[in-house]
A and B are shown apart, each in its own frame.
Chain A
Amino acid sequence: MSTDVTPEAPGAEGRPLASRRGTTPGRFGNRLFAGLSTASGILILVTLAAVAIFLVREALPAITASPAAYADFTRDLNLGQYIGPLVFGTVLAALIALVIAVPLSIGIALFIAHYAPKRLSGPVAYVVDLLAAIPSVVYGLWGFFWLVPKIGPIMDWISQKLGFIPIFADYAPPAKNVTSAAIVLAVMILPIITAVSREVFLQTPRLHIEASLALGATRWEVARQAILPFGRSGVISASMLGLGRALGETMAVLMILAPFARGTEVYSIKILASAEHQTIAANIAQQIREAHGMGVSVLIASGLALFAITLVVNMAARWIVARRAAFSGAN
């Protein structure tokens, strides 16, 4: 192996370079690590493909069959009419949750990362992280027994005063509507968005903060000028993580949201109205026990739709982040 090493080409310690090649433990470790990480990467892709293949295969009967084959289960709706309102409800609930959670999370993250005194920021960060550890069924219970009765009168008031705006029209008690579900979802996704945003904000280079301060920026202006733009892509990624969880969340929605009647096709923007929305995940959990044959296939088709939505959401997030990559501060 080291036959053609000339005397004037020794390694750093005077050993021939070639002896580093081949069987030394460092090389083996490298190969092992490379193999393990490649295998993990492939495993993720395989798992994703397996899920996609399963969904498509099981949903295919419902997609290809004539509506009559599952009319029993869907109460005479065809597949599009059945899944459409569910997709609408899912996206609506997740978007309302995001609208509530993102500004709150950014505020909390900014506070923890840059404004709170040391002895306060630690505990606050800890409590927010703790929110992530609460199981969703507990959130469901909290929403059902505490939030719904408490928020009813507020929604009633909003509906009376602002009812002329269509989205706030027609509140009806109890408040088991999509907004209540979305508020609980917002609390559930708050810790994820806050934690990721906080980490990104903490990484804002000291140089940029000082540049802003030296120009005569106030604390809020430093946030707007240096911290938020730097953390922008991170906050978007964090929001998308939160959106992903909100889209798929089942238990809390199932316990709080009173869905529309089976066999109706409702697209309603009245976010305070009762029994006008349902989400895909909650619907699957609710219906799967009594479904069989074609019914199961219809539900899996709705699951496929949910899978597609999350994929689109993630791709959109990547696109948004990549669009201004040159300005991201990573270079």
Chain B
Amino acid sequence: MSKRIDVSDLDIYYGDFKAVQGVTMAIEPRSVTALIGPSGCGKSTFLRTLNRMHEVIPGARVEGKAVMDGVDIYGSGVDPVEVRRQIGMVFQRPNPFPTMSIRENVLAGVKLNNRRMPKAAADELVEGSLRHANLWNEVKDRLDKPGSGLSGGQQQRLCIARAIAVSPQVLLMDEPCSALDPISTLAIEDLIHELKEDYTIVIVTHNMQQASRVSDRTGFFNLEATGQPGQLVEMDDTTTMFSAPSKKATEDYISGRFG
């Protein structure tokens, strides 16, 4: 249930503005890849190109290749809907569907595939996904209550349960803890540790301690000046990146001497 993605020479545009330039990176299966860098350097934009969410913004487009399992997800015959079903995403702010109960939220993605599911199988999937997201014990008695009634951290774990319920190959996380308190953040980080047994995970974070805690490999994005496109400065094993980065910009950023 996990695949690698090889990105080569990816340029990302908003209309005529080139937001990110020339990204080449390999995302390993069953590992956590963290993307760090200052605000506006294009790391979230890059993340959103990996499941073709970038192009829902009018005028946004991509040049280059991102190959998963031998197939370029930007190939001409590839349906973006199909890509998104295989590459799940968790957003910066928890976004469970407010009109659905906790149970319905978990099943939201599965229902899209129009699979008529026997109730027993659905129950099993709900429990499995919620257990996997470390949320089961907290919500098992109120599965029919609205998902928006949970705390922020619980909502985010519900969103993770919703994303993994469809058994994606890859899980993208766009600053999943930035709206959460420290305890909820720790819960999510623990969860990421467990999830990487089964999934390929890419996480964008502003928090460098978080990157060093959860990730196996880290990529550092930066831009040379405002108005210039963002670039992947370097990418390496997380321990190397945080102890002996090869580029000076990386070292400055990580040690807080940035800007």
Contact among B85, B88, B91 with A210 in the assembled complex (CB-CB below 8 Å): B91
Chain B residues near A328: list those with CB within 8 A: 98-99
Quick one: which of B58, B101, B112, B145 has the most chain A CB within 10 A? B112
Indicate whether A225 sits within 8 Å of B53 (C-beta atoms), given known contacts A214-B89, A216-B166, A327-B99: no
Q: How far is the CA of A208 from the CA of B145 in the complex (A)?
A: 18
Contact among A208, A215, A327, A331 with B112 in the assembled complex (CB-CB below 8 Å): A215
Q: How far is the CA of A212 from the CA of B86 in the complex (A)?
A: 14
Interface residues of B in 82-102 (CB under 8 A from A): 82-86, 88-89, 91, 93, 95-101
Indicate whether A229 sits within 8 Å of B97 (C-beta atoms), given known contacts A214-B51, A217-B81: yes
Indicate whether A229 sits within 8 Å of B91 (C-beta atoms), given known contacts A215-B84, A216-B84: no
Q: How far is the CA of A79 from the CA of B40 in the complex (A)?
A: 74
Q: How far is the CA of A232 from the CA of B97 in the complex (A)?
A: 13
Q: How far is the CA of A232 from the CA of B149 in the complex (A)?
A: 19
Does A221 lie at the interface of the complex (its beta carbon under 8 Å from any beta carbon of B)? Answer: yes
Q: How far is the CA of A244 from the CA of B6 in the complex (A)?
A: 59
Contact among B83, B112, B148, B163 with A329 in the assembled complex (CB-CB below 8 Å): B148
Does B109 lie at the interface of the complex (its beta carbon under 8 Å from any beta carbon of A)? Answer: yes
Chain B residues near A327: list those with CB within 8 A: 98-101, 146
Whether the Cβ atoms of B53 and A210 lie closer than 8 Å is yes
Contact among A118, A210, A225, A331 with B95 in the assembled complex (CB-CB below 8 Å): A210
Whether the Cβ atoms of B98 and A225 lie closer than 8 Å is no
Does B254 lie at the interface of the complex (its beta carbon under 8 Å from any beta carbon of A)? Answer: no
Q: How far is the CA of A213 from the CA of B100 in the complex (A)?
A: 16
CB distance from A110 to the nearest CB of B (A): 16
Q: How far is the CA of A221 from the CA of B112 in the complex (A)?
A: 7
Indicate whether A230 sits within 8 Å of B159 (C-beta atoms), given known contacts A213-B84, A327-B146: no
Q: How far is the CA of A232 from the CA of B100 in the complex (A)?
A: 12
Indicate whether A229 sits within 8 Å of B99 (C-beta atoms), given known contacts A215-B162, A216-B166: yes
Contact among A118, A213, A215, A331 with B98 in the assembled complex (CB-CB below 8 Å): A331
Residue tally, chain A, CB below 8 Å to B? 25
CB distance from B167 to the nearest CB of A (A): 12
Does A207 lie at the interface of the complex (its beta carbon under 8 Å from any beta carbon of B)? Answer: yes
Chain A residues near B86: list those with CB within 8 A: 216
Interface residues of B in 45-99 (CB under 8 A from A): 51, 53, 56, 58, 81-86, 88-89, 91, 93, 95-99
Whether the Cβ atoms of B148 and A211 lie closer than 8 Å is no
CB distance from A214 to the nearest CB of B (A): 4
Does B143 lie at the interface of the complex (its beta carbon under 8 Å from any beta carbon of A)? Answer: no
Residue of B nearest to A221 (CB): B112
Whether the Cβ atoms of A211 and B159 lie closer than 8 Å is yes
Chain A residues near B113: list those with CB within 8 A: 216
Q: How far is the CA of A328 from the CA of B149 in the complex (A)?
A: 11
Interface residues of A in 312-331 (CB under 8 A from B): 324, 326-329, 331
Whether the Cβ atoms of A230 and B98 lie closer than 8 Å is yes
Q: How far is the CA of A197 from the CA of B40 in the complex (A)?
A: 36
Contact among B81, B93, B96, B101 with A216 in the assembled complex (CB-CB below 8 Å): B81
Does A98 lie at the interface of the complex (its beta carbon under 8 Å from any beta carbon of B)? Answer: no
Residue of B nearest to A226 (CB): B97
Q: How far is the CA of A232 from the CA of B98 in the complex (A)?
A: 12
Whether the Cβ atoms of A216 and B91 lie closer than 8 Å is no
Whether the Cβ atoms of A214 and B100 lie closer than 8 Å is no
Q: How far is the CA of A95 from the CA of B62 in the complex (A)?
A: 50
Does B108 lie at the interface of the complex (its beta carbon under 8 Å from any beta carbon of A)? Answer: yes
Quick one: which of B89, B93, B95, B159 has the most chain A CB within 10 A? B95
- The list of the 5 closest CB pairs from A to B, nearest first, reads A216-B85, A329-B98, A229-B99, A214-B89, A215-B109
14 A-B residue contacts at CB 8 Å? A207-B95, A210-B53, A211-B91, A213-B84, A215-B109, A215-B163, A216-B85, A217-B84, A225-B112, A326-B149, A327-B99, A327-B100, A327-B101, A331-B146
Binding site for A on B (CB under 8 A): 51, 53, 56, 58, 81-86, 88-89, 91, 93, 95-101, 108-109, 112-113, 145-146, 148-149, 159, 162-163, 166
New A-B contacts (8) at CB < 8 Å, excluding given A210-B91, A216-B83: A210-B53, A211-B97, A211-B162, A216-B81, A217-B81, A226-B97, A230-B98, A331-B146
Binding site for B on A (CB under 8 A): 118, 205, 207-208, 210-218, 221, 225-226, 229-230, 232, 324, 326-329, 331
